[in-house]
């Protein structure tokens, strides 16, 4: 069986915290689909095309990663894309409380298991929200954004 995981999010923007989870995920899974969930209710700082292009560029040498977007329910997209796992990062207890409910519902509905990786301590306080705040206040955010290897 090919182990294919879905790593979904808004990635507005994709941070070194996300990157670290994906790098560690590559040690566990054969393929990872990084999928940007489109939520028309939610206004984003970076347009979808730009977020997609940035990710495609970042992972252009990594054949085991696929970049895409979806506007359905995450669990429906997981089934549609043939993922047999959902990959999530956990930063703190708040993440956990939310994620445990999602994981449980997803497994009940489809049998798809969610695999959680604990955030590295050094990345646990990084969020896309924090990076967006820095951008709005004209601060340098380069330390939060992954560089292509
Ligand atoms: P959403 O827009 O759905 O909140 P995000 O783009 O913020 O999604 O994050 C997607 C996934 O990445 C989630 O599993 C989230 O917990 C995880 N994540 C976000 N930031 C970090 C971080 N700094 N370290 C580890 N995991 C993270």
Gap from CA of 128 to ligand 1 centroid (Å): 8
pLDDT tens digits for range 84-134: 999 999 999 999 999 999 999 999 999 999 999 999 999 999 999 999 999
The pTM of this model reads: 0.95
Domains and CATH numbers, the chain: 4-144 (3.40.50.620)
Q: Whose CA is nearest to atom 10 of ligand 1?
A: 9
Instruction: Name the DSSP letter for residue 94.
Output: H
Q: Whose CA is nearest to atom 22 of ligand 1?
A: 17
Q: Place 41 in a pLDDT band, splitting at 50, 70 and 90.
A: confident
Among 134, 124, 78, 133, smallest CA distance to 102 is for 78
Q: What is the DSSP string of 28-89?
A: T-SEEEEEEEP-TTS--SS-HHHHHHHHHHHTTT-TTEEEEEE-S-HHHHHHHTT-SEEEEE
Number of C-beta neighbours around residue 102 at 10 A: 14
Whether 132 sits among the annotated catalytic residues: the reply is no
């Amino acid at each position: 069986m090919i182990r294919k995981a879905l790593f979904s999010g808004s990635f507005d923007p994709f941070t070194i915290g996300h990157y670290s989870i994906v790098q560690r995920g590559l040690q566990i899974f054969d393929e990872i689909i990084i999928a940007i969930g489109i939520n028309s209710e939610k206004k984003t700082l970076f347009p979808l095309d730009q977020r997609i292009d940035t990710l495609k560029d970042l992972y252009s040498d990594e054949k085991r990663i696929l970049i895409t977007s979806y506007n359905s329910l995450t669990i429906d997209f997981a089934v549609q894309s043939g993922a047999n796992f959902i990959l999530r990062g956990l930063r703190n207890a708040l993440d956990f409380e939310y994620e445990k409910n999602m994981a449980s519902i997803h497994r009940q509905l489809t049998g798809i298991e969610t695999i959680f990786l604990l955030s590295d301590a050094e990345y646990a306080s990084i969020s896309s929200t924090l990076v967006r705040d820095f951008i709005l206040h004209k601060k340098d955010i380069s330390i939060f954004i992954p560089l292509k290897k």
